[in-house]
Amino acid sequence: MTKDTNHCYSRELFEAFDDNDEETFVKILESGVSSNSCLYDSEQGNVCILSNAVRKGSTKFVDILLKYGADPNYEDEDGETPLFEALFSDCDNSIQELLYKYGANKNHRNKAGNTPLIQLMIRCSDDHAYNFQSTTLFYLLESGIDFQLSSSRDQKLIHFIALVHRCHISKTDISKRHVCIRYLEILIQNGLSVHLKDGSCVTPLHYAAMACCEGAVDYLIDYGAKPNARTISGQLPIHFLGQNADRPGFQKCLRLLLDSGSSIKNVDNQGRNILHYLTTTNKVSKLAIETVINEGMNSDIKDNCGLTPLHLCVIPSIFVHPDELEDDEEDKTDISNILTCLVHYGASVNAVDKNGLTPLHYSLRYELKQEIIGTLLKLGADTNLRTMTGETALHRATLYPNLLREVLNSGQTFEINATDNFGSTSLHWAIYYFEEDCIYKLLKAGADANICDLEGRSPVQYAIISKRTSLFKALGIIYCRETDPLPCKIYPSGETDFNVFLGAHMQVDGTNLDEKVPKQINISEQTQNSLSGECKLSSDESSSDCSEQNITYSRSNTIDLSEETYTDLFSGLDEECIGEDHMWCDCPLVQTVVYHNKMVDTVKWTFHCEKHRQSLANYMELILNTNNMGLYIDSTENSLVAENIKKFLEKLAFGVKQRNSLFECELQLAGSWKEGTKIVYPDEFDFKWILTKFSTAFEVIESNEENLRSYVKFPFKEQYRDSQFSEFLDEHFFLDGRKVIRALYTIINDVLFEMPPHAQLYPVKYLKTEKGSIDTLSFRWVSCTYKNMLIDIDIVPTLTPPNWIPRYMNNSKKMLQNLELENHTYSVVLKTPDSRFVKNWNTLFRLSLSDVEVAIFKAIPASALKGYILVKSLTNTLFFPQIYVTDEDYYLKRFITTYIIKTCFLHELEEDINNISQNQECLDHLAKIWALKIVSRIEKAIDTKAVARHLILVRQNN
């Protein structure tokens, strides 16, 4: 039987299974088709028929396959056997019993080194939607598994007690004893200690306390577990208990821990006690709070950041990214009652943290906190208190109209025109947030539009420099394109924009827009849309010189939906077209493409792209005219932000060196700032934290595995064996990235806690230390141009081995031949592969090619770089749509990422390198041509469903 024929019959075997056609299924097997047949799946790779039957829970077909010789230990691409899937999918254990009968290996280890039981635990801990049966658990525990094996995350079976606590008790499980106690008894009898710590120094007692399992807590304490054992973050079991205070066992677990020597006043490395944890969690409990306060806890005590429990009720975590917090805010309930309770017990509603922020200031960041803000105001929150950067509650309330209304209607006396430390009024802030309704409310309340900030800009002038002029079009103040120079215009009456603006707010009555503002009077000539260069994008089809090059997107496998059908599919979406041509077009029919019945509808998307092409043209012209990469706001503050970030990190690095000289570093700017391709705002930075001492203490071994080609290991040099580096090694004397990152990030956080407040920059997210993986610091920046801008900084520990050139550098590429790569210093970042799929992942680190890419970008002409910046910036608009899957009601992950765009750009450069003039000027039409080349290659990648490999790496067999 040929390979093609076998593949054909394999497909028929899968089809017979999908059709539940047992007779045909057996006939195909009897014809000689392998019972280990596989079929390629785009999401899961090659899937064998046995694993597929197990996943679908079909005991009948599993039995047939095993009788016809299917291998119960057949490995998939992740090294997992059908038993791994059976532990998730098998509700009555019948499939597991069949697999065991035919020899399934219970101790088989996948590529990450995890057994079926450990992988089950990891999967359930990563996703709480998964669970398992108690009979599955105890059958494995009682049938000869290896109890001493650790997971790929340095956890043994005893560390999964919290998952056991919530497992499903099978109907056939007749035991009357508590599942957690039964589990612990078996593990302890088989040699596991109650004192074992996982990779983050978390003990079984920590996990039992987190589950609020009084039986497990009592059992572990009886066997000698220490209630004052600390994790790498300094957390005690009592702190873990505070994360789930809504559970029934909280009160008894608290009493067990206190009676065994713990204290409610014990704090972790961030200065937080159990009350801080109780108020941080989404499962906050008034009863639990009252219990610990009655035990003697101060309700107003501050942590190292100056945050009180009252703060933490409204700002859940300083270790979770603010965007994630905003998504999760609706999950936190009953906060108003908790706030009232805390104030009743003596908490100050106007307590300030290190940055001068009160609970009210923090609450105004979240749209869903209107009720909470009302409660804070009733409890006495002062709207006139200023933060470290000088803004009042009124400034911060301009992010959401409903919150601004709460503040304006609070009944407190406040200064409507109060300015922050940079001279900005709340009207300036509302313009920055692009909140038209807030502008209306402020004008009605008497906001003065003639006040200038410290850079001499009134709100109107600030709107111009910030490209927010569409706000004032709505107010009838300015008639112009977004990209016009926008001089002060004179109206027939002799009034200027300022006169009109000052008169406008006197007429706002909160009813009709036409009644709020004077009508527009246009005395300026229409400016013809003429983009420089050969390629033009215009709303007039006939004015395009090269219409075949217009940036549009269409696919052959599309469906043309009727308006009614389209509306039905978008039942939860706003499908109304917004027809304005300002560059901030927010038409939902542009931003979303429908996927339905395995077909993509791009017809309406293409139509609305054409309809709003003027918006696209305006935005393109804006980016092409920027002088500072793709940062479209022309302000010296762009460089000021970058300078302050660098100085701040230098102080941070100096503090780390003083704490532990082993972590002395060389800070190196990386990413888009180093490339010269940063777009939109100065809000993201990448810094390599080059560990100079580590770099010289280790050798380099490059991985030979095809899928790990860009990874290396660091074996310890013999002469350093007895040095202080030894604490960062695994048992085979390789560098363990988790240990390095945990230690470094812990010191960085400690130094950051102690640093004095910055005049414009304050931290809102610190580094996570538990997992030992790369993380991000987040700050807020407040100044004249950018108000409360969120800035993310990746802190990337890096090693630069001396005199090392990677074996797999593709020196044959024309672009690289003139870069003198042999004189280049190569770096390795401590970014590891996925722990779920790679064994010893914590000792594998990724080769960084960013410095080589920077060298390429510095060597190419400005027009090519501008074309790349243009495409990259367009991904920040709504013209690169998301795919909405109607059948399952979710959005697909974006395919067109910065990595995809850069890879396509590098391949275009390589193909055209001989035709590029190194001295050419940055002409707009050349930049557009480069942009179109990149888009065409992306389009080809979509058609072929494949992206070319990274240009700089080469395969082993080349």
Question: 560, 953 in Cβ contact below 8 A?
Answer: no
Residues 458-474: pLDDT tens digits?
Answer: 988 898 888 876 666 54
- Which residues make beta-bridge pairs with 954? none
Task: Please spell the DSSP secondary structure of 904-936, one letter per residue.
Answer: HHHHHHHHHGGG--TT----HHHHHHHHHHHHH
- Which residues make beta-bridge pairs with 667? 689
Q: Distance of alpha carbon 715 from its chain centroid, rounded?
A: 32
CATH architecture of the domain with residue range 1-105: Alpha Horseshoe (1.25)
Residue 578 neighbours by CB distance under 10 Å = 14
Give the separation between CA 951 and CA 741, rounded to whole angstroms.
Answer: 30
pLDDT of residue 379: 97
Residue 477: pLDDT above 50?
yes
Mean pLDDT score of the chain: 82
Cα dihedral 851, 856, 857, 858 sign = positive
Q: Say how many residues make up the chain.
A: 958
Structure-token pair, residue 911: 């193909």
Residue written as token pair 């920590």: 206
Percent of the chain whose predicted confidence (pLDDT) is above 70: 80
Band of residue 325 on the pLDDT scale cut at 50, 70, 90: low
Residue 658: pLDDT above 60?
yes
Q: Which of 12-16, 136-140, 537-541, 632-636 has the lowest mean pLDDT?
A: 537-541
Q: What average pLDDT score do residues 614-618 get?
A: 82
pLDDT of residue 88: 77
Q: What average pLDDT score do residues 631-643 get?
A: 93
- Which residues make beta-bridge pairs with 596? 599
Band of residue 329 on the pLDDT scale cut at 50, 70, 90: very low
* Neighbouring residues of 726: CB distance < 8 A, sequence distance ≥ 6: 716
For the chain, where do the domains classified as CATH 1.25.40.20 start and end? 1-105, 130-263, 413-516
Residues 341-387: pLDDT tens digits?
Answer: 999 999 999 999 999 999 999 999 877 788 999 999 999 999 999 99
Band of residue 818 on the pLDDT scale cut at 50, 70, 90: low
Residue 575: pLDDT above 50?
yes
Residue 853: phi and psi, rounded to 5, are -60, -40
Superfamily in which the 413-516 domain is placed by CATH: Ankyrin repeat-containing domain (1.25.40.20)
Question: 824, 817 in Cβ contact below 8 A?
Answer: no
Give, rounded to a whole angstrom, the gap between the first and last alpha carbons of the chain: 33
Fold annotation for 637-848? Beta Polymerase; domain 2 (3.30.460)
- Which residues make beta-bridge pairs with 845? 712
Give the separation between CA 132 and CA 684, rounded to whole angstroms.
Answer: 41
Superfamily in which the 130-263 domain is placed by CATH: Ankyrin repeat-containing domain (1.25.40.20)
Helix (H, G, I), strand (E, B) or coil at 192: coil
Band of residue 170 on the pLDDT scale cut at 50, 70, 90: confident
Residues 889-924: pLDDT tens digits?
Answer: 777 777 788 888 998 999 888 888 777 665 556 688
Residues 751-798: pLDDT tens digits?
Answer: 999 999 999 999 989 999 888 899 999 999 999 999 999 999 999 999
